[in-house]
Structure formats: structure tokens, C-alpha cells
Amino acid sequence: MREPEANSDDLDKGGMSVRALMIAILVSGMALVALPQAVLGQDAVAAARTQLTTAIFHSGELAQRGTAVSGALLHVQHVINCLEGTQGPDFRAAVGHVCQGQGNGIIPDLKAASASGAKGADAALKFANVALNLSLQAVKMTDVNEAQPWALVVSRQLTSARDALGR
């Protein structure tokens, strides 16, 4: 038996389907790239909120455990890493980046959220900057009885930052 011959109408229909699919993919890709700034601001808020929760846990819980100053300072440095992100001047990769994959750093994400006009981002950024300044002081301490209470104050500032963003 002989194979049926394809006519040019059948080929055009298949070609049109492929072209339509390619156009749909191209339009979808362009839509993703051209998301409105307000949507991007919400992503920055969500990222900041997630990183704040991690940093609050490290300063308010983990830094409070134990009696060695090194343990408290390790978790304070984790907070600094979360606040600044990998591009921050005080970021120390050697101690670990507990906020990795959660955002670009609390302060960079809050700056982006503020620039897009996200509600509460300006206030949250102020609290985050205070937390960073306190953390930079705490990480230099040599006595666990100083570092742990200092880390609690950092945790309260971080909690205020998260609260400023709302739910």
C-alpha cells in the first residue's frame, strides 16, 4: 500500500499550530518580564517578611541559647547576613547564609518595596536599619551576658519591621 500524500493544506495547518504556540509562549514570556512595579513590590515585601521571620528566630531564640558568647555572636552574624544580603559590606559567607533563597537581603528588599510604594515599607526599613546598627555593635561583644540581651533588642526591632509590613 502506498502512504497517503500530504497536501499543502495539511502542512499549513500544522505550521499554523506551531506558530500560534510559539506566539503564545513569546507573549507569556514578555508578560512575565513586564510585570507591573506594584506586583514586584509585593514580591519584595513577601521576601522581606520571610527573611525577617528567619532573622527574628536567630536573634530572639537561637542567640539566647547556651552560655558561650561564640554561639550568640554566630546568630547575630546570621542576622547581619539576612539584613544586608550577599552584597552587604558586613556579609560573612563563612558563617552561613540562613536567609539564602528567601530574598536579596532584608534591607535591599525593603528598599525595593519602598521604591514601589509598598505600604509599611518605609517604616519597616527604619526598624531594619536600627536592627543592623545594633547587630553590628553586638557582634563585637565579648561577654555572652551582654550579647544575648543585645540580640533580644535586635529581635524586637526586627519584629517591629515585620509588623510594619502588615499581614
How is the chain split into domains, by residue range?
Answer: 38-165
CA distance 152 to 166: 21
Whether residue 110 contacts residue 132, with contact meaning beta carbons closer than 8 Å, is answered with: no
Q: Domain spanning 38-165 has what CATH number?
A: 1.20.120
Q: Mind listing the pLDDT tens digit for each residue in 108-142?
A: 999 999 999 999 999 999 999 999 999 999 999 99
Sign of CA dihedral 68, 69, 73, 76: positive
Whether residue 53 contacts residue 162, with contact meaning beta carbons closer than 8 Å, is answered with: yes
Tell me the mean pLDDT in the region 48-74.
96
pTM of the model: 0.76
Q: Mind listing the pLDDT tens digit for each residue in 135-147?
A: 999 999 999 999 9
